[in-house]
Amino acid sequence: MGLLDDKVVLVNGGSQGVGAAIARAAVREGAVVAVTGRRPEPGEALVEELTAAGGKALYVRADLSDAEQAKASVARVVQTYGRVDCLVNSAGLTSRGTLLDTTPELFDQHIGINLKGPFFAMQAVVADMVGRQEPGTVVNIITSSAHGGQPFLAPYVAAKAGLIGLTRNAAHAHRWDRVRINGLNIGWTATEGEDATQKTFHGAGDDWREEAAAKLPMGKLGQPDEIADFVVFLLSDRSGVVTGSVIDWDQNVLGGLD
């Protein structure tokens, strides 16, 4: 028996990185999975991989910064599979900007991907759950940087901190509907997107992962498959009654000083 047997799981931003790892873990645990993303190539490749391994999967092309597309992607999954039991919001934009150099356009991009998309996807998914009078679970992938972060993450931090507040607000609002909503503040993670970010914004070389890992307490960056296993647990009934929790999934301790 898998932790997510017969569950329909929608993973927003699920075509690569942490989202793709969550999709793989969910299928392994018995779920039917739908993934969204802006680029069809990695999304369709992931679905092909999952179906070849015996899973059931669907790719839905969507720009989640557009509220209508975020809601329409949920409608597509409901139309295809009849419902959504679990939602993961893992899409994220990490482009750089400080308080002084962030443009209104960059700020709006961060709000769109990192906050507005999750808001309206949750709206549509929770409406489906409440309409069916069935329980469900949501996990929002946030960031440890939401506690403050580096100066060059100003718009990112602003949007993700908003997602923390939204997670708790929605969890409180829908606890009597038996919809559990939690968040995960992940730390520095080895993904394709982070590789591109390090090389684009920080001039990093191909060995940046090894250099970064050597400076971290556990000797490695966060791994997508480890995050995925934790997310599957939060989505599943094995996590019990937990709701409204925003968990720091990181190797640095908030408030700890050397």
β-bridge mates for residue 88, sequence order: 11, 139
CA 131 to CA 178: how far, in whole Å? Answer: 12
Please list, residue by residue across 214-246, b when 16 or more beta carbons sit within 10 angstroms of its beta carbon and e when fewer do: eeeeeebbbebebbbbbbbbbbbeebeeebbeb
Q: Which residue has the tokens 């391994």?
A: 53
Contact criterion met (CB below 8 Å) for 141 and 230:
no
Residues whose CB falls within 8 Å of the CB of residue 34, separated by 6 or more in sequence, listed in order: 8, 9, 10, 11, 14, 57, 58, 59, 60, 73, 76, 77, 80, 81
* Residue tagged active-site, from 59, 120, 156, 188: 156
Contact criterion met (CB below 8 Å) for 183 and 247:
yes
Contact criterion met (CB below 8 Å) for 85 and 139:
no
Answer yes or no: 156 catalytic.
yes
The token pair at 10 is: 């929608």
Query: Catalytic site residues?
Result: 156
